[in-house]
Chain A
Amino acid sequence: DTAVSQTPKYLVTQMGNDKSIKCEQNLGHDTMYWYKQDSKKFLKIMFSYNNKELIINETVPNRFSPKSPDKAHLNLHINSLELGDSAVYFCASSQDLQHPRNIQYFGAGTRLSVL
């Protein structure tokens, strides 16, 4: 059983389209995250949610809107896709925010290509 699962694994789309990436964790964790990994491999946090409450919004354009329908899911919707949005997006989860329960477990990533 995959602990943190993302769908789709690959996403190829045209500029200007709207797309969503889904994330689900079956670990019973309270906290979930979205990270973006650019072509130079830098992983940068975008959002974190704790108990469905937004904790971090790391100066991400408002074209990106996370939605957490419940603690096990954190979806990412992107409007009006741009070429610069091409990257690998990783979802992660942790038990909660405090040590030692703050260890983050990552999904396999969604590779987004905007043409």
Chain B
Amino acid sequence: QKEVEQDPGPLSVPEGAIVSLNCTYSNSAFQYFMWYRQYSRKGPELLMYTYSSGNKEDGRFTAQVDKSSKYISLFIRDSQPSDSATYLCAMSDLIKAAGNKLTFGGGTRVLVKP
């Protein structure tokens, strides 16, 4: 079983809908949680960065972390066709000796249809 699990999708939604993405993890030492967006044949681009539990909002994006359940979520409001991409969750326990190693989920492919 992988340390970070993420449904590969594809997740297909109509334009304007809310996209809901999530990851579960097994390592309780993870404290830093990130969501990256990756377009086809491009590098991952950071969307959201959260420390410990709680919510964080940035424009149309909301990230939630529930450390007690080992579960993180990303919501995209008013989705646009340009949001079509693969979304990767990543996390780290960020002890300096651990070298800032990010552990990624496998990504969820999202398709927003006009």
Contacts and interface: CB of A to CB of B under 8 A. Distances in A.
Nearest to A88: B41
B86 interface: yes
Interface string B67-89: 00000000000000000001010
Interface residues of B, number: 28
Contacts of A86: none
Contacts of A104: 46, 100, 102
Contact of B99 (A4, A43, A44, A56): A56
Interface in B38-54: 41-46, 49, 51
A99 B32 contact: yes
Given A98-B96, A99-B32, A45 B102 contact: yes
Interface in B86-114: 86, 88, 90, 92, 94, 96-104, 106-107
A33 B34 CA distance: 17
Contacts of A40: 8, 106
B104 A43 contact: yes
B10 to A, nearest CB: 12
A31 B42 contact: no
A109 B107 contact: no
25 contacts: A4-B43, A31-B100, A33-B100, A41-B86, A41-B107, A42-B106, A43-B88, A43-B104, A45-B101, A45-B103, A48-B100, A55-B97, A55-B100, A56-B98, A90-B43, A94-B100, A99-B94, A102-B32, A102-B94, A102-B100, A104-B100, A104-B102, A105-B46, A106-B44, A107-B43
